[in-house]
A and B are shown apart, each in its own frame.
Chain A
Amino acid sequence: MNIEINNIDRKLLMDRSSPGRIGATLPPLDVPKQKLPPNNYLRDNIDLPELSESELVRYFSKLSQFNFSIDHNFYPLGSCTMKYNPKINDEIASMKGLSNLHPLQDESTIQGALKLMFELQESLCEITGMDNISLAPMAGADGELAGMLMTKAYHLSNKNPQRKKILIPDSAHGTNPASAAMAGFEVITLPSDPKGNADIEALKSSVDETLAGLMITLPSTLGLFDTNILDVCKIVHNAGGIVYGDGANLNSLLGRVKLGELGFDIIHSNLHKTFTQPHGGGGPGAGPVIIKKFLSDYLPSPIVKYNQKTNYYSLYSPINTIGKMGAFHGNFGALVRAYSYIKTLGGSGINQISQNAVINANYIRTQLKDYFTLPFDRTCMHEVVLSAKDYKQKYNISALDIAKRLIDYGIHPPTMYFPLIIDEALLIEPTETESKDTLDYFIEVMKTISKEAKDNPELLHNAPHNTPNTRVDEALAARNPNLRWTSSNI
């Protein structure tokens, strides 16, 4: 066939549109016709596509097949915790008794929803060893922002406006400095030491009366548990600062250690990582902010409280709240899924998550360390960072080339070029939901690619080979931004 399949699949809705088609049934007008407002208020035309339901189903089904997903195969995206998303959670979240609730209903009519939120609050506090929580933040970065705003509010109400400095390790995720800046803080980068821990000496020399706090990810984005963490917390506390924990990597600690007991004052948890809200191609997520008691008055609203005497749940706003993070009560649908997950596994199941995640990561580490550079040769937690710098030097094969070649073997690329402090980084997080068989396949593939890099580098440079698109021109996209359909696009 000479027809370009690609171009047919890629045709946009507006270019598929045909006047007169419709993809939905429309209810009739069942009330007497009312007077319309003056014409100058009304829109004369709305340009939206016209397609039949069957065409839409084909289009969106076909497009979906251009996606790689965790339900397809192994997705070892470091620091993203792409683990299996249990189906029961989706079914429960879509139950009408939950999904049809309106956020502004009277409290007496939503006791079930509030009970669910209250129990989730309690469970997350228990799992993390913290005292209080707000489920309001709508993603990890939103939880960070909430935590940073609370840090600011706390220092200001203690008459310490000079505490303007937030320390952030150089291995941190970019949202950390961005969130701190949105809360009006000055960001100071803290170097890592040769073992991959936060540099204690650098920390000591940067704490003073201007310190507002430290934002640290534990385990770090290098997949390492900071062996100095107790000292780190102590140093920050002695200087009057708040210790903020980015819970992005909480999956490796579930049931093994509680961040609250180690000395953390504020953390957030990415429910779309640790507690299996599906990632949805980029959200929705949820990022509850979980804290020690002394910060309770600053939590974002609303929070659910329970009166045992009256057996009644209600929403409240803390006295010095930093405010609301969104229009209503957070991403309830995501909260329901996390709740369902915790209920399914219970204490016994939660306890098994971290050990399996950590075994899986170390299994990969020990089997690949002779093939790739291991920047930190020590036991890792739930993820392992490898470096492809030798391949870059010897064969001009980059981390990107290796990652793209993995796609040819049906495996999603790991996180690349992050953390920024590792050259040609490949950050691999297998999660607990992968079997030894899958890991063995991955390890074999990585060894094969390592050989291909030497024998047939072009194979890697041109990878992937069997995807809907080959590598794309990102420079063209950024130089001449084409961000929407227009009639001249045809």
Chain B
Amino acid sequence: MNIENNSEYVSPYIPNTNLDRQKMLEIIGVKRIDDLFKDIPSDYLNPNLNLAEPMSEFELKKYIDAICSMNIVPGEYSSFLGAGSYQHHIPSIVNQLSTRSEYMTSYTPYQPEVSQGTLQTEYEFQSLCCLLTNMEVANAGMYDGSTALAEAALMSARINKKNKIAILDTVSPTYIEILKTYTQYQGISIYIVNENEINLEEDTTCLIVQNPNFYGNIDDMKQFAKIAHQNEALLISYTDAMSLGMFIPPGDYDADIAVSEGQTMGVPTSFGGPYVGIFTCKKKYIRQMPGRIVGKTIDTKGNTAYVLTLQTREQHIRRENATSNICTSVALIALMSTIYMASLGKKGIKHIAELCYQKAHYASELIKKIPGYSLLSDNIFFREFTIICPRSPKEINKILLKEKIIGGLDISNKIKNGMLLSFTEVNSKEDIDNLIKTLSKIK
């Protein structure tokens, strides 16, 4: 706004001036702008809009700074929260490259001649997801891991035309909730099975297993695959993508559909989103897959080109019979993950996974020696494990916060005094020792 505070606001995003508009209205052949809105019932035209006055960039940044100061930010505090969203160091090139406006401000690549950047990087994403999981094919990404899981279950029902979903009780309660949201009116039922005695009901379309599970444990996935396949059901696995840097991937235990949360690969925690769901499956099921898929082909000159393919599965062609309603997905986040995986590469992903493992195990060994604390189980785990605290995790977290520590997730609604702790490479030895020291003081 200028100093004289003129009554008319000039938007920095609208180039046309009053003079331009005047000329244009003349050519259109109307007198006033409102003549262009005459199809709108006049009683409803130009309602009162009760919004604040415009803010300059400077004012806005100050305003947002104030909002940020109302938050406690992991990084400034050491944090041991995970449960599906993990803090990692993100190499500079991930942001530098993915925020190039060519990637950021382009549309879904419907015009392959002018979208090869997006298309080829999406093909790379699919390729790297396949290599990470050892699965045969992948799509270009889903909204997040949880919706990828729900879509996987719906896909399973389309494949074998059965309508009961079996889900292990060690799957995150949040993912079970989302599965319910997406399946509730589709004539599909969900039942929960106990990990130790799995009896699949007749008409079970799939068995869903999370590995590592919600409590952090790594399970023997081969055994679950066997049970599912003996019952002519598909095995759907939900894995922590970073764990695949160390542990055997879903392709090696015969998973039919394997999904993951891609956030752990180069995406900030960003208060829960946007993330990217990794979606992979056996090749024979590709025509039942949801989401965008990029394929390799050639152009009229015989040169390599990439293009959105198998589009007849999708809503813009098959409408109510589509495999999913998904349209705008998360291409840019998939690009971030692609750059992350490429940058860390073969050695780096393994290294980061091992750091997570090592730090979590270092911490667990120390915590179980603190009087009053114990581990929920002595199973194999990756970077998360559940501890039983001497008093309510809520109180413990309050005390930790005073020491500038964001504690683990309170899961006392599942396990009495249970807390789920998570470790990544950003938790230094000093931070972990400080956590242990503080916990030791709480009795």
Per the CB under 8 Å rule, do A and B touch in the complex? yes
Chain A count of residues within 8 A CB distance of the other chain: 197
Are B33 and A69 within 8 A (Cβ)?
no
Give A349 to B298 CA distance when docked, in angstroms.
46
Q: Return 5 A-B CB contacts under 8 Å, by A number.
A: A110-B72, A279-B107, A282-B118, A363-B27, A363-B28
Are A100 and B325 within 8 A (Cβ)?
no
Most chain B Cβ neighbours within 10 Å, of A100, A224, A360: A100
Interface residues of B in 297-333 (CB under 8 A from A): 297-301, 303-307, 309-312, 314-322, 324-333
**What is the number of contacts between chain A and chain B, taking CB atoms within 8 Å?**
669
Please give me the 5 A-B residue pairs with the lowest Cβ-Cβ distance, nearest first: A328-B272, A97-B68, A280-B332, A184-B185, A103-B272
Option from A123, A324, A432, A467 in Cβ contact (under 8 Å) with B174:
A324
Stretch of A39-47, A236-244, A288-296, A451-459 that contacts chain B: A39-47
Given contacts A23-B342, A56-B343, A484-B138, whether A14 and B60 have CB atoms under 8 Å apart is no
Give A356 to B36 CA distance when docked, in angstroms.
11
User: B193 within 8 Å of A by Cβ?
Assistant: no
User: B256 within 8 Å of A by Cβ?
Assistant: no
Contacts of A142 in B (CB 8 A): 143, 147, 325-326
Contacts of A32 in B (CB 8 A): 362
Option from A43, A71, A109 in Cβ contact (under 8 Å) with B101:
A71
Given contacts A103-B272, A482-B295, whether A469 and B116 have CB atoms under 8 Å apart is yes
Contacts of A53 in B (CB 8 A): 91, 93, 343
User: B369 within 8 Å of A by Cβ?
Assistant: no
Are A57 and B97 within 8 A (Cβ)?
yes
Are B47 and A70 within 8 A (Cβ)?
no
Are B174 and A103 within 8 A (Cβ)?
no
A 217-255 binary contact with B (CB < 8 Å = 1; else 0): 000000011110110000000000000000000000001
Give A14 to B108 CA distance when docked, in angstroms.
25
Are A88 and B71 within 8 A (Cβ)?
no
Contacts of B324 in A (CB 8 A): 178, 182
Contacts of A347 in B (CB 8 A): 49-53
Given contacts A88-B60, A101-B270, whether A258 and B47 have CB atoms under 8 Å apart is yes
Option from A22, A31, A41 in Cβ contact (under 8 Å) with B248:
A41
Give A406 to B380 CA distance when docked, in angstroms.
59
Are B325 and A332 within 8 A (Cβ)?
no
Q: How far is the CB of A273 from chain B (nearest CB, A)?
A: 9
Give A36 to B360 CA distance when docked, in angstroms.
12
User: B370 within 8 Å of A by Cβ?
Assistant: no
Complex: chain A residue closest to B36, CB-CB = A358
Are B271 and A256 within 8 A (Cβ)?
no
Are A279 and B108 within 8 A (Cβ)?
yes
User: B296 within 8 Å of A by Cβ?
Assistant: yes
Given contacts A69-B104, A101-B271, A175-B327, whether A359 and B36 have CB atoms under 8 Å apart is yes
User: A77 within 8 Å of B by Cβ?
Assistant: yes
Complex: chain B residue closest to A23, CB-CB = B343
Are B272 and A64 within 8 A (Cβ)?
no
Q: How far is the CB of B294 from chain A (nearest CB, A)?
A: 7
Are A283 and B91 within 8 A (Cβ)?
no
Complex: chain A residue closest to B50, CB-CB = A126
Give A323 to B184 CA distance when docked, in angstroms.
10
Q: How far is the CB of B170 from chain A (nearest CB, A)?
A: 17
User: B111 within 8 Å of A by Cβ?
Assistant: yes
Give A84 to B15 CA distance when docked, in angstroms.
11
Contacts of B425 in A (CB 8 A): 27
Contacts of A97 in B (CB 8 A): 64-65, 67-69, 71, 73
Option from A96, A327, A472 in Cβ contact (under 8 Å) with B75:
A96
Complex: chain A residue closest to B298, CB-CB = A473
Give A105 to B261 CA distance when docked, in angstroms.
19
Are B113 and A33 within 8 A (Cβ)?
no
Are B380 and A37 within 8 A (Cβ)?
yes
Contacts of B341 in A (CB 8 A): 48
Are B244 and A72 within 8 A (Cβ)?
no
Give A35 to B401 CA distance when docked, in angstroms.
31
Q: How far is the CB of A196 from chain B (nearest CB, A)?
A: 10
Are A22 and B317 within 8 A (Cβ)?
no
Contacts of A34 in B (CB 8 A): 357-358, 361-362, 365
Option from A106, A270, A352, A462 in Cβ contact (under 8 Å) with B11:
A352
User: B123 within 8 Å of A by Cβ?
Assistant: yes
Given contacts A57-B97, A258-B44, A481-B309, whether A126 and B51 have CB atoms under 8 Å apart is yes
Contacts of A42 in B (CB 8 A): 246-248
Q: How far is the CB of A19 from chain B (nearest CB, A)?
A: 8
Are B269 and A103 within 8 A (Cβ)?
yes
User: B45 within 8 Å of A by Cβ?
Assistant: yes
Give A138 to B328 CA distance when docked, in angstroms.
9
Q: How far is the CB of A155 from chain B (nearest CB, A)?
A: 11
Are B16 and A356 within 8 A (Cβ)?
yes
Option from A90, A101, A432, A484 in Cβ contact (under 8 Å) with B123:
A484
Give A175 to B329 CA distance when docked, in angstroms.
13
User: B87 within 8 Å of A by Cβ?
Assistant: yes
Give A434 to B13 CA distance when docked, in angstroms.
9
User: B390 within 8 Å of A by Cβ?
Assistant: no
Q: How far is the CB of B15 from chain A (nearest CB, A)?
A: 4
User: A412 within 8 Å of B by Cβ?
Assistant: yes
Give A365 to B29 CA distance when docked, in angstroms.
11
Stretch of B129-137, B160-168, B202-210, B226-234 that contacts chain A: B129-137
Stretch of A112-120, A200-208, A390-398 that contacts chain B: A112-120
Option from A47, A100, A484 in Cβ contact (under 8 Å) with B268:
A100
Give A319 to B348 CA distance when docked, in angstroms.
46
Are A327 and B274 within 8 A (Cβ)?
no
Are A330 and B104 within 8 A (Cβ)?
no
Give A324 to B140 CA distance when docked, in angstroms.
23
Contacts of B180 in A (CB 8 A): 323
Are A46 and B245 within 8 A (Cβ)?
yes
